Amino acid sequence: MRVIIEKDALSVARIAARVVAQLVRARPQCVLGLATGSTPVATYQELIRMNREEGLSFARVTTFNLDEYVGLAPNHPQSYRAFMQRELFDHIDIPHEHTHVPDGRALDLEGSCERYEALIQQLGGIDLQVLGIGSDGHIAFNEPGSSLGSRTRLKSLTGETVRDNARFFGTEADVPKLAITMGVGTILESRKCLLLATGESKSRAIRDTIEGPITAQVTASALQLHRDVVVVLDEAAASRLDRRSYYAEVEQAQRAIEAGNSPS
Ligand code: PGA
């Protein structure tokens, strides 16, 4: 894992947007995996700015979102489809038909999950998957105990996740208790993963993900098995890591290599 620690959430967003933009410029027809939640919003704002001011075009990009609440119509303000329209898609030049979010209102949920997986495969797989992390260590809605080989499927949300997400709905009672989510296995098949975390409330989950054992109790820890993961953290999210200074040294050397200087 490449662990990048930045001073604040804004710098995290800039680095994350740069990783996405690099791929989009190198491979304009790439497949992006996208995430919802508060964390990636600043990254999306930076991508919108790059689209507007720097000619970063998404016209040939395809996207797949990680998850969606069951029972919410796409135009429900708290559906993840509506979130993506509001926070990103409506502001960039991506064709609507290139954007995919699981259908939380499908009558045949199981079939619809299988079709989602098949479509990802058909379009060549995900090149870069953007990920947030839950305070319980989940990636997408793969709650503690999810199989590390899991595929897109229905998942019950934990009380902790329902409480965390109640801020968007007003009350806990309004938060759907079921979601469709890509599986951990689906995520591990992405060619590259970009995990973002900001704030002290994520510090425990981040420590467990990076320095803890691989366990289904912290599904993000499965990323240790992936060969190309970039983790971008602010100081607060990184505050419980034991090896912070080592990650900083590695990062310094990495940047020197990228700038064409040999690290000393
Ligand atoms: P957040 O959610 O970005 O709103 O903190 C992350 C997640 O639950 O995956």
Q: For 116-141, how does the pLDDT look when each residue is reduced to its tens digit (9 = 90+)?
A: 999 999 999 999 999 999 999 999 99
Check if 132 has its Cβ closer than 6 Å to any atom of ligand 1.
Answer: yes
Residue 256's pLDDT is 94
pLDDT band at residue 212, thresholds of 50, 70 and 90?
Answer: very high
Q: Ligand 1 centroid to 197 CA: how many Å?
A: 8
Residue 261's pLDDT is 81
Q: Ligand 1 centroid to 161 CA: how many Å?
A: 9
Domain count, the chain: 1
- Residue-range definition of the domain harbouring residue 251: 2-258
Statement: the pTM of the whole predicted model exceeds 0.85: yes
Q: Ligand 1 centroid to 202 CA: how many Å?
A: 9
pLDDT, mean over the chain: 97
pLDDT(242) > 90: yes
Closest ligand 1 atom, residue 35 Cα? 9
Residue 148's pLDDT is 98
The answer to whether the beta carbons of residues 3 and 251 sit under 8 Å apart is yes
Residue 160 belongs to a domain: yes
Closest CA to 128 of 68, 51, 43: 43
| pLDDT average, residue stretch 70-87 | 97
Q: In whole angstroms, how far apart are CA 242 and each of 33, 200, 246?
A: 30, 15, 9
Check if 133 has its Cβ closer than 6 Å to any atom of ligand 1.
Answer: yes
Here the CATH number for the domain that contains residue 132 is 3.40.50.1360
Residue 245 belongs to a domain: yes
pLDDT(264) > 70: no
Q: In whole angstroms, how far apart are CA 102 and each of 114, 156, 157, 173, 186?
A: 11, 15, 16, 23, 14
Tell me, yes or no, if 96 is annotated catalytic.
no
Closest ligand 1 atom, residue 138 Cα? 9
- Of the residues 68, 136, 164, 208, only one is catalytic, namely 136
Q: Ligand 1 centroid to 196 CA: how many Å?
A: 9
SS3 state at 206: helix
The answer to whether the beta carbons of residues 116 and 183 sit under 8 Å apart is no
Check if 137 has its Cβ closer than 6 Å to any atom of ligand 1.
Answer: no
Residue the block writes with tokens 């970039």: 230
pLDDT band at residue 262, thresholds of 50, 70 and 90?
Answer: confident
pLDDT digits (tens, 9 = 90+) for 149-208: 999 999 999 999 999 999 999 999 999 999 999 999 999 999 999 999 999 999 999 999
Tell me, yes or no, if 76 is annotated catalytic.
no
Residue 193 belongs to a domain: yes
Check if 176 has its Cβ closer than 6 Å to any atom of ligand 1.
Answer: no
Tell me, yes or no, if 174 is annotated catalytic.
no
Residue 183 belongs to a domain: yes
Tell me, yes or no, if 67 is annotated catalytic.
yes
Q: Ligand 1 centroid to 208 CA: how many Å?
A: 16
Residue 59's pLDDT is 98
Check if 38 has its Cβ closer than 6 Å to any atom of ligand 1.
Answer: yes
Residue 263 belongs to a domain: no
The answer to whether the beta carbons of residues 95 and 110 sit under 8 Å apart is no
pLDDT band at residue 219, thresholds of 50, 70 and 90?
Answer: very high
Check if 104 has its Cβ closer than 6 Å to any atom of ligand 1.
Answer: no
